[in-house]
Structure 1
């Protein structure tokens, strides 16, 4: 049975112009299947974060093709991409980007309210359900700045899940955490893949974490040099 491709990059080339033309992604092609946990590894400056920005549709200035759920998204208007990004892609970053004056619950609700497909009450219910997954429901009414680093990252993962995305993309999600919280966050990612069949794509410099994912894409100087 053919596996469903959630995201596929075909011959992606990307250039920076600062001040001279530099190629930062070189003929990058790969796909991530539904329910797969894939990591992207490589030295600093190899192009892995740039690749993530292209895959997330936040950077549209590239050559090549990008497909999400077999739909060509290259060349779509920015308004369409914004809706697609909010609905289909969840994001977890090294820095959680929570709004400190908002409660934990309000932070998780933001992408759901922005999508505007459910009532506020339904989004609130969904947000509480996501917080329960991470045992954070008792902190729902706390302000985000009252949480520890590990708790903030759990809330940011709950927020990434609120619209039940096709794929979660994360850029160095454990880079700002100590070993204990790093292991905790990675454990959450693994559970999401195994229990909820969530598709995950994680950029990391941590070889120990990458080894625990289903497959690792190795990058060097803007190219994919192996994936296994």
Structure 2
């Protein structure tokens, strides 16, 4: 049996502001390589809180988070930062590209930070990722010269640069029109089915969710299906 890419075991989360409120109740699930799952539910149901814990940014929780079978609890911040950079790719509703750099350099940045490859190797890899996403011809442009859909594809290429185990997405199609939303969906599907990438995407888009391999539905801090 393959080790899940990411696994949550009975995650419990409280907020203490100003009174103690439980926002996650015994959340458990596992996601395998090549699996493309959507997390859905009404605003305030705990989706973003869950994503923040899964990203290792929030460490104040009860229960267990495992990435590639390795428990994250008790790891120091430097070790968690390395996990985030090596094993998790992030795609947000806003692309957070830096307009002072070219598209290519934006994609290269996380790999430069990781420091495992030479600059020519990183550049080659960045071109490969842009090619997968069909935008290698835009590599030398600045992000502000691109359309919204192109910018989001650059953000996906950047998320892929370190060949992460899992892609976490927070409303990645939320700012896109239907056509570009469908393009991004098709890219995610290809990443799962061709490149065996694990993807966990929080979305309000029911059409997007319905086409994924699996829907994780949340309500009041619990997974209900």
Please say whether Structure 1 and Structure 2 have the same fold, judged by a TM-score greater than 0.5: yes
Once the two structures are superposed, what CA deviation does each residue of 1:90-112 show, in whole Å capped at 9, x if it has no partner?
00000001111111001000110
Correspondence list, 1:147-186, <5 A: 147-186=146-185
DSSP 3-state at the match of 1:197: coil
Partners of 1:131 and 1:34 lie apart in 2 by 22
C-alpha contact (below 8 Å) 1:101/1:145 kept by paired residues:
no
Partners of 1:52 and 1:86 lie apart in 2 by 16
1:29 corresponds in structure 2 to: 28
Residues 1:198 and 2:176 are matched in the alignment: no
C-alpha contact (below 8 Å) 1:167/1:200 kept by paired residues:
yes
Residues 1:123 and 2:108 are matched in the alignment: no
- Give the TM-score normalised by structure 1: 0.97
RMSD over aligned Cα atoms: 0.8
Return the offset for 1:4.
3.0
DSSP 3-state at the match of 1:95: coil
C-alpha contact (below 8 Å) 1:56/1:89 kept by paired residues:
yes
Return the offset for 1:19.
1.3
Partners of 1:16 and 1:97 lie apart in 2 by 28
How many residue pairs match? The answer is: 225
Correspondence list, 1:48-87, <5 A: 48-87=47-86
Partners of 2:26 and 2:134 lie apart in 1 by 42
Return the offset for 1:3.
3.8
Stretches (4+) displaced over 2 A: none
Return the offset for 1:201.
0.5
Partners of 2:131 and 2:33 lie apart in 1 by 24
DSSP 3-state at the match of 1:190: helix
Once the two structures are superposed, what CA deviation does each residue of 1:170-206 show, in whole Å capped at 9, x if it has no partner?
0101001111111111111011111111111000111
Partners of 1:151 and 1:85 lie apart in 2 by 24
Residues 1:15 and 2:25 are matched in the alignment: no
Once the two structures are superposed, what CA deviation does each residue of 1:126-180 show, in whole Å capped at 9, x if it has no partner?
0011011112111111111111100000000000000000000001010011111
Q: Which runs of 5 or more residues in structure 2 are unaligned?
A: none
Q: Which runs of 5 or more residues in structure 1 are unaligned?
A: none
2:43 corresponds in structure 1 to: 44
- Give the TM-score normalised by structure 2: 0.98
2:138 corresponds in structure 1 to: 139
Once the two structures are superposed, what CA deviation does each residue of 1:109-131 show, in whole Å capped at 9, x if it has no partner?
01100110001111011001101
Partners of 1:179 and 1:207 lie apart in 2 by 12
C-alpha contact (below 8 Å) 2:149/2:176 kept by paired residues:
yes
Partners of 2:113 and 2:7 lie apart in 1 by 26
Residues 1:219 and 2:218 are matched in the alignment: yes
